[in-house]
Structure 1
């Protein structure tokens, strides 16, 4: 229930319906949009929301649905229902085209069984009667004209007409040639008069030919004569044409009779086409306003994240502006939100956004809010917005407000949403404030839900002391005297009356007089609100900075953990290789000693042989002796390091390859890991000093990547999911290699892929901005992404 009846107009719901109508392909779809109403049946709302969401998914991520032609076959079916009536060739063509679309759509969904269950339910158990198309195709061709061979008689008549026309033309050409040779004809050629081919003769020569004069020129000097020899032939053609018309009507009547048993099925096909057109229009509008499907619950509450007013969003997009998103929640604990703040600060827009989005949800429309938003179901909407004074009813502005308040108090309940703008205005504030407070208390006792806007201090105080009612304010930058259009729940807001008046330029003496006329208590309250708002803003800005720093710390910690894991793995590999090498040395040494002892025994300890064997043992010992580690030399600061060089960290044995030098920093590749270090912390080493495994892994992933990497990607023709995946991979590599920008070629088309790509990239804080290419080089078919 909507009260008053013009609530849909007040909140912009009527305008939303008009925008949806522009996406309809048929008058039937537009008529269905006109019938959109706010519903309170949870199952029905959920079904309509899912249908719109599934169609939106098709438009964005699947092949195009084969919807090309919609005609009003309901009226044609009703016409065919009448005995003796017949459909024209054009009307049969419309049925033929519409049924082709119906069968193509059903085939489309049959190929995707279970993927779009709510849309499939539109034609569940609907049979495909291709016999109807077969019957029509036998008579009507693909251009909507009757086939020449629709019947044997029609073919004979058509051939007879063609033959008679050829004879008549041949005869009149002969007569015209003779008359022209005798100089009897006027300037010009054969012409048609009254549907008959005539010869233009000079008036003085009209007696020289026998025939029927159909017309004469304005001057009377030329007459248009049908020769006598041709007259009988033309009459025969006319008779044959009448015969053909009668045969066409007979064929159409027979075809209509054959179609009559299928009238109920045609009406079902008509219903399917109308519903598809309707749901398609809702889905296209949802894409326009970047809408999502919220979680629907069967309770009188809601929670909106990143909500935007759809009409404001569309207007701002034309002006290349952005709408400040709204986050608000109404539940059992916080039932009514009292919004205060400066004029032109966005209070009314905030309230209208909440009301309009809730109405859209309950009308089965997707809303421009985060997909994690929650929308409930309300039984009643009570709206008091604007001036409803009535001369006819002898109602002043305040009387009109009070009449609505009477209705609100009497008929509201826990499933009622109330939206009241400038609560209590229209009369003396000394009396309007207490009355408004009393009404608000009565509404709160009835557990209503909703939002009200006000400037009255007594309502702010009442809200802060009453359970179920919560204050909220629209943030204001009192340094620049500009509204921020952000809703903050939990505290009332100042009206900034004096600050705004001062900015506008009201004389200082007038402002001083005004300040002296208000009470000290009110001054104190207003000053306190201003100070609170300033402090809140400072705290908010500080929190934003801290969050940013925390994210940076988390990133560094993650990189550190990754580096630690890499080093641990390398250490394990080195230890494993060292142990294996030691084992091999020991085995070789044991074998050498055993061989030496055996040779000494066999030579009876001959001195020369024993000395030779001892020298051999010493040689092998020197080969496997580890040299004492020399003190580290100071790094050579004068040796230039360039990309491609192998370096090691001075304070550790970690080695890597230089990918890029950026000012005092160097980007290193260590296997698959990338890191940035100060240039003073590294020194150049020879390639031979680097383990083979590390060289192989690094060379495969670093220098080649930099050489082959291109900050440009072409996603034209890709599905949305594939395109976003490819862009994400390019984005990660660009960040890793410190590229400043990317070029994404997505094409124009319907603009859906471009919109999805930009919306996806907005979530990355590393993205500074996005711009179109120059119009001469691709325009909005190419997006440049600039990184911070």
Structure 2
């Protein structure tokens, strides 16, 4: 499909694949990316693009996909397939974690049935076998070690080993203490030699203690002796350990045998997660590029709107360079070939490479950095002539290499071929290179190919202007500032600005005048006209830009006016309603006042002083109600979004910060997560984030969460602390673990009298996010360490 083979590399296609591979979590995902090739079936291309778009929407707007563990299942399944083989404890632990991830992903999409229709095709007819997980969980614990109760014999052997180790340790402590009292030992404590616990004895006393000498110090003054009675106890422990190991292998072999009938299903799971990783990587790359899915067309056409070269765009973001100028170009059955001219370093090659690279990406199912209204057709062949392909081995010069490609193009190209040629006709005498290039262009035109061709040759510009199906285009150049604008304008050819650029870099006036005399008068006139045309085009472009800017300002003013009008109407209704309510209340108060006054006068029985006092009170009340009220400040009504739910992102109005809703409490209270902190805010004090604003916040917080996970230490040491300080420290680390979704926490509290352990565990029972907790293994700290597992 692509000719020559290195054309994809020259267009940057291989670089795109490498960037996507960097976003994969598994080696199998990277292998799938490495095998990406442009497709020619529009249904297949459409499915691949829609899967990537759906995954992009999922990452930006939905809950995170549970892909914590993506171990390669395939090599483990292949190993288990062999009769008599067995997987190790660590390998079974990897299978267990991978299966949990597989089932979590399947459950994730099942809960969102019909929401991601194209992604759901990856899971079609793939069953879930939780029995496999249960069988492994009965044998392997959460840390990847075999459970002591995996069998009765294993439990018995483990208990015997523990008892024998304790007995040996107790006995060697007694012997060591006795040797110390006798003055036989060197300075220091018990030490390990050859894997055995030994007592350091001064060399002159080594005959006084019966036992096996394992080592001596460098000076020979200290001998490391394992006492005779301890030697036998340690041998017993070793024999029991060998017996336990045989039982472990028996259990692993049996478990592998039980797993063997499900090998095909495990391989299917492996393929599924590889595809999930593959599509996820494409989606992450699309988010980084701010890429969209264009409109697919069955016709051989291209209509790029606001398109940018992906690699230049990434360099811009990385190095904070100037913005990449968007490209607008249309290739269809009317304008089949776009002939791009203009000055060197003006962006002609970038324009052509952008078209070719984006076409390869679309046909490979990769979203592109262009407006979603862009239209991309499907080409069965992409032919490219870029750069210098001279070859000593093949005896090819630069021009010979170009002609060799042109031969292939003219023979095999058709209406479904996209042609990309950079600096057409160069490499030989322009007097002959120009006519040959024109003849090749004529042959390609007859085959109705589509393409983009860059050139400096005037005869090709003239041929394109007089030939239907070919269209001239030029890269705009600011001839006042003498710098390229990197903007493609279709319709007219462009000048190479050879004399202007030569003058700018300081070539002498005499040389320039001599050069002008040497070129033909007609060619000089053509180039002058092109320069003038370029100047006019620049003026037209600047005018269009100014008009466009003014139109945007008018649209913005219109929107502000409509918003203000709506706001005034809403407040007008509110003020009228408040006035009516206030009038009703005044009238009600007045009626009550009159009734009370009449009743008071009657009760006073026309007493003059009492009646006078009553009238005074009446007049005061009337003055109070008739006094002109102070103007109230009209406040903007903030709509309370009663639809706020757990997991939504909101903005705190007073602070202007974003937070995620952890819980919706009674009384319109929200419990929000502000990074690693939690706070309670009234619902009417926040605004719910939607659309692009929400997507930006989620993306930013996700990147911060990724950094937090990398820095997070899932272990807290509170030994020697006061109870209040210890609980405060545990709460801080636990809150952070919950916020970043960490599965467990190791708490070192020590043994002592058990008081701190008691308070720690009472606190964990009350912590809502803790599912359960347990002691560390007896060999590694026992009940002096607590493992807390987070829901």
Indicate conservation of the 8 Å contact 1:189/1:200, yes or no. Answer: yes
Does 1:723 pair with 2:689? yes
State the 1:544 CA deviation. Answer: 3.0
Please say if residues 4 and 383 of structure 2, whose CA atoms lie closer than 8 Å, have aligned partners that are also in contact.
yes
Bigger Cα displacement from structure 2, 234-243 vs 541-550: 541-550
Any idea what the Cα deviations from partners look like across 1:599-635, whole Å, max 9, x if unmatched? Answer: xxxxxxxxxxxxxxxxxxxxxxxxxxxxxxxxxxxxx
SS of corresponding position for 2:659:
coil
Superimposed CA distance per residue, residues 286-331 of structure 1 (whole angstroms, 9 cap, x where no aligned partner)? 0111100001122211110000000000111223221100000111
Corresponding residue for 1:186? Answer: 186
Q: Calculate the TM-score normalised by the size of structure 2.
A: 0.73
Tell me, in whole angstroms, the C-alpha distance in 1 between the residues paired with 2:211 and 2:154. Answer: 32
What's the counterpart of residue 520 of structure 2? Answer: 519
Partner Cα separation in structure 1 for residue 305 and residue 567 of structure 2: 41
Aligned pairs for 1:756-775 (under 5 A) are none
Q: Which residue of 1 aligns with 2:319?
A: 319
Provide Cα deviations, 1:640-667, integer angstroms capped at 9, x if missing partner: xxxxxxxxxxxxxxxxxxxxxxxxxxxx
Q: 2:506 and 2:654 mapped to 1: Cα distance?
A: 52
Match of 2:750 in 1: none
Does residue 367 in structure 1 map to residue 368 in structure 2?
yes
* Match of residue 770 from structure 2: none
1:258-290 CA distance string (max 9 Å, x none): 001111111111111111111111000001111
Question: Residues 320-360 of structure 1, C-alpha deviation per residue, up to 9 Å, x if partnerless?
Answer: 22110000011111111110000000000000000000000
Unaligned runs of 5+ in 1: 570-687, 729-743, 754-788
Matched residue of 1:146: which SS? coil
Match of 1:29 in 2: 29
Q: Which moved more, 1:549-558 or 1:305-314?
A: 549-558
| TM-score, structure 1 normalization | 0.74
8 A Cα contact 1:50 1:118, kept in partner: yes
Name 1:576's counterpart in structure 2.
none
- d(CA) in 2 for partners of 1:565, 1:159: 79
Give 1 or 2 for the bigger CA radius of gyration: 1
Asked whether the equivalents of residues 715 and 746 of structure 1 are also in contact (C-alpha less than 8 Å), the reply is no
Distance 1:278 1:82 in 2: 29
What is the distance in 2 between the residues matched to 1:277 and 1:426? 46
Pair 1:165–1:559, CA change in 2 (3 A): closer
| Partner SS state of residue 74, structure 1 | helix
The 3-state SS of whatever aligns with 2:689 is helix
| Structure 1 residues 235 and 448: alpha-carbon distance in aligned structure 2, compared to 1, 3 A threshold | same
Q: Tell whether the 8 Å contact from 1:90 to 1:145 is kept in structure 2 after alignment.
A: yes
Q: CA separation of 1:562/1:132 partners in 2, compared to 1, >3 Å: closer, same or farther?
A: closer
In the TM superposition, residue 552 of structure 1 has moved relative to its aligned partner by 5.7
Q: Deviations over 1:577-612 (max 9, x none)?
A: xxxxxxxxxxxxxxxxxxxxxxxxxxxxxxxxxxxx
Match among 696, 701, 724 for residue 749 of structure 1: 701
The 10-residue stretch of structure 1 (12-21 or 542-551) with the greater mean CA deviation from structure 2: 542-551
* Distance in 1 separating the partners of 2:225 and 2:7: 72
Deviation readout 1:34-92 (Å, 9 max, x if unpaired) = 11111112111111101100000011111111111101101101111110000000100
* More divergent stretch after superposition (204-213 vs 120-129): 204-213
Change (3 A) 1:198 1:514: same
- The answer for the alignment partner of 1:352 in structure 2 is 353
Structure 1 contact 714–746 (Cα < 8 Å) conserved: no
1:28 Cα deviation (Å)? Answer: 1.1
Residues 562-582 of structure 1 show CA distances to partners (whole Å, capped at 9, x for unaligned) of: 99999999xxxxxxxxxxxxx
- Alpha carbons 1:716, 1:746 under 8 Å: kept: no
* Other-structure match for 1:449: 450
Q: CA deviation at 1:411?
A: 0.8
Q: 1:551 to 1:349 in 2, by over 3 A?
A: closer
In structure 2, distance between residues paired with 1:355 and 1:116: 30
Tell me the residue number matched to 1:163: 163
2:300, 2:379 within 8 Å by CA — same for their partners in 1? yes
SS of residue paired to 2:445: helix
* Cα drift, residue 561 of structure 1: 10
Task: Trace 1:112-261 onto structure 2 (pairs within 5 A).
Answer: 112-261=112-261
> Alignment length, in residue pairs?
612
1:488 aligns with 2:489: yes
Distance in 2 between the 1:702 and 1:100 partners? 51
Query: CA–CA distance in 2 between the matches of 1:221 and 1:715?
Result: 69
1:712/1:475 CA distance change after superposition, 3 Å: farther
- Distance in 1, matches of 2:276 and 2:692, equals 33
Change (3 A) 1:195 1:699: closer
Label 1:256 to 1:551 Cα distance change in 2 as closer, same or farther (>3 A): closer
Q: Secondary structure at the match of 1:342?
A: coil
Residue aligning to 1:12: 12
Distance 1:565 1:61 in 2: 31
Looking at structure 1, the residues matched to 238 and 355 of structure 2 have their Cα atoms a distance apart, in angstroms, of 71
- State the partner residue of 2:437: 436
Aligned equivalent of 1:637: none
CA distance in 2, matches of 1:87, 1:437: 68
Asked if the contact 2:60/2:698 (under 8 Å) is kept, the reply is: no
Q: CA deviation at 1:445?
A: 0.7
Cα 1:563/1:72, change in 2 over 3 Å: closer
How many Å apart are 1:712 and its aligned residue? Answer: 6.9
2:95 corresponds to 1:95: yes
Distance 1:715 1:350, change over 3 A: same
CA distance in 1, matches of 2:336, 2:103: 50
Q: Are residues 202 and 140 of structure 1, via their aligned partners in 2, closer, same or farther at CA, if it must alter by over 3 Å?
A: same
Q: Is the 8 A contact 1:60 1:752 kept in 2?
A: no
> In the aligned structure 2, how far is the partner of 1:566 from the partner of 1:247?
79
* Gap change, CA 1:712 and 1:218, over 3 Å in 2: closer
| C-alpha separation in 2, matches of 1:310 and 1:369 | 10
CA distance in 2, matches of 1:704, 1:66: 37
CA distance in 2, matches of 1:396, 1:288: 41
Q: Report deviation, 1:717.
A: 2.9
The farther-off stretch of 223-232 and 88-97 is 223-232
Distance (Å, rounded) in 2 between the aligned partners of 1:166 and 1:561: 84
Give 1:125 shift. Answer: 1.5
From the superposition, tell whether residues 66 and 178 of structure 1 become closer, same or farther in structure 2 (CA, over 3 Å). Answer: same
Counterpart Cα distance in 1 of 2:351 and 2:267: 44
Q: Deviations over 1:373-396 (max 9, x none)?
A: 011111111111000111111111
